[in-house]
Each structure stands twice: as structure tokens, then as C-alpha cells.
Structure 1
Amino acid sequence: MSISVLKRGLELLNEDLKGTTKGQKKKNPKKTSVMDQISTNKQGVKKQIRRLQANNKTRKNKATVKDKQIRNALEEYQKKQKKSQLSSNLEYFLESSCKTQDSCTKKIVQQNVGRQSRYHPEKPVKKQEKQSIFTEAEFQKFQQEYFSKR
């Protein structure tokens, strides 16, 4: 590079630095208008404007701690728990005018019990009588041989 090009570049740089320090300050991106933030591309300008305006609105509408209600943790837990409907269901069925026969209810209960996965009926255990390998005749023969030698 030649010295003249370097000098000219430094002069331009000095002019830019002097111009910003005197009266011009850097613009705050939050305070700049929407049109200043849009790029120079011709396509997508409307979309960019909508997006930037939406961002400005969301910044203003942030919820604060002051607006929140502090609730008791126990109350929150009780609200989330399911309420038992057993008593109301029992009352309804006991007060109903249509009563079923005992034989029908027993059949229904018996069929339902068999369908449950935990239902495993006990299998009948066959009792086997103890059988000896030796017959009665062999025992008598052994007895005669054992005691006759003495």
C-alpha cells in the first residue's frame, strides 16, 4: 500500500470519530422507530414491521409480581385432588326403584371376579398316596431272612 492511501484512510477515520463525539450519539435500539430497524431489502418489509411492533407490545405488557395472588399450598393441593364420588353413588343405587334379583346379582359378581387380572383360582392339589417300591410279599421274605439268621 502506498503512504498516500494510508493517510487518506486515517483522515476519513478521524473525521468520522470527530463527528460522533460532538453532537451525534449512538441511538438506543429500543427507542428507535420501527422504520429505522427495518432492513433495506425490498421483500418482507410488512412482515418485519408486524414482528417488530409485536415485540414492542410484549415488552410493555409484562406481568409483575404485584399482580400475582399468593395462595396457600395446601389449598392448591386440595383443589387438584379428585373428590370421591363413592357416597353419592351409593345413595343413588340404594334409592333406585329398580331392584335386581339376588340370583342375577350373584351371577354378575361371579363373572366379574373371573375377569380380573389378579384372579388366579387355586388349582386342586392331587394327593398321591405314598407307594412303596417293595411289595408286601418282599417285606415278609426280607423279614424271614433277616430274623431267621440270628
Structure 2
Amino acid sequence: MQTLIWILVFLTTFCLMEFMAWFTHKYVMHGFLWSLHRDHHHKDHGSWWERNDFFFIFYALVSIGCFLLWRYEDVWIGLPIGLGIFAYGMTYFMVHDIFIHQRFKIFRDANNWYSKGLRRAHKIHHKHLEKEEGECFGMLLPPIKFFKTK
């Protein structure tokens, strides 16, 4: 029974991170921390690293904090929450940074209905180069309208 609860907490955390990513993107990245996110929309730098990558570091620290609570303070829920945040972060990195933005040149030939929908939704977001009017979608589950087969 305990294992089932841990798995449930992990899956709930993973799913809640989709909301957190949307919320953070809409109200923080396109809000008061636009100065860090701007270089993600304006490729006016020659570096692989973007100031936008600091958001990844923030969530990594939250995940590490959960692991530390579990390990040193015996807070059992810290482990499944930390793993859920970590798993979402890895998934986000694979989908957003590797698949969509091609920071590493792999998954270029993926051309199924889901990959086309993800690319289409992200392209809509990046058509706005400024802070305002940047439509925000979930990374893994953008609106169903982007998953047309035509």
C-alpha cells in the first residue's frame, strides 16, 4: 500500500508540474522575469546557454531540496515529490530543448501527429517576440486543436 501511495504522489507531482510550467511561463517568464526569458525568443546571442536556463536551475534546486528533506529530515513525501519534479524536468528538457529547439541534433525525423502538434503549438507561441501576447500552452499537452492530421 505504501508503494502505491508513493507512486500516486510521484504521478500527481509530475502532472502538477505541467500546470506549474504553464503558470510560471505565463506569469513569471512573460511577467516580471521577462529579462531572463527574453533571450529565448530573441536569438541575438551566439551562446548555447541562455539566461532563460536559470529557470531550469530553480526547479532543480526545488527538487534537490525535496531529496534533502527526505534524506536528512526523514520527510517521506520528499522523495516522490522530488522524483516527480525531476522526471518532469527531464521530460521537459527532452521535449522542449532537444526535440523542439534542437539544442542537440537528435529526434529531427519525428513526424507523427503528436510531434507535429507539439511543434505547431510551440511555433504559435514563438511568433510573438515580445513580452505581451505570448500565448502559453502546456508543454506536453497543448490544446487539442494543434493535433490535426492534415
Give the shorter-chain TM-score range. under 0.3
Whose radius of gyration is greater, 1 or 2?
1
Higher normalized helix content (fraction of residues): 2
Q: Which one scores higher on RCO, CA 8 angstroms, separation ≥ 6? A: 2
* TM-score w.r.t. length of structure 1: 0.21
